[in-house]
């Protein structure tokens, strides 16, 4: 069971992910309804999911703009997720 502080941090990170995802919505796979963010080996990785919970893409990829990459790195690279499975944000 997460502590109140962990819950606050998760909510903050989820809100940031949602804001960035909505700002760069045109770069997300068509049909994206939620995002899962993880930091792996010093890189921010975001998986996009459809309304059925099926993974439909990974960001960054070859089509990801430098601005989107920069926003993700700036927001999450130094953040320690309270959930080892990552942070989820609805779109």
Distance CA 44, CA 69 (A): 8
Confidence of residue 75 (pLDDT cuts 50, 70, 90): very high
Q: What is the pLDDT of residues 27-68, one digit of tens each?
A: 999 999 999 999 988 889 999 999 999 999 999 999 999 999
The answer to pTM > 0.75 is: yes
Contact 44, 70 (CB under 8 A): no
Pick from 1-5, 51-55, 67-71: least confident? 1-5
In this prediction, residues 10-39 reach a mean pLDDT of 97
What pLDDT score does 86 carry? 94
Angle at 81 between CA 78 and CA 85, to 5 degrees: 130
């Amino acid at each position: 069971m997460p502590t109140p502080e962990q819950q606050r941090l998760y909510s903050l990170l989820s809100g940031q992910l949602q804001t960035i995802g909505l700002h760069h919505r045109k770069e997300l796979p068509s049909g994206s309804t939620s995002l899962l963010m993880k930091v792996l080996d010093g890189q921010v990785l975001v998986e996009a999911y459809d309304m059925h919970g099926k993974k439909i893409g990974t960001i960054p990829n070859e089509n990801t703009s430098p601005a989107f990459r920069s926003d993700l790195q700036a927001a999450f690279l130094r953040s320690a997720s309270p959930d080892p499975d990552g942070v989820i944000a609805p779109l």
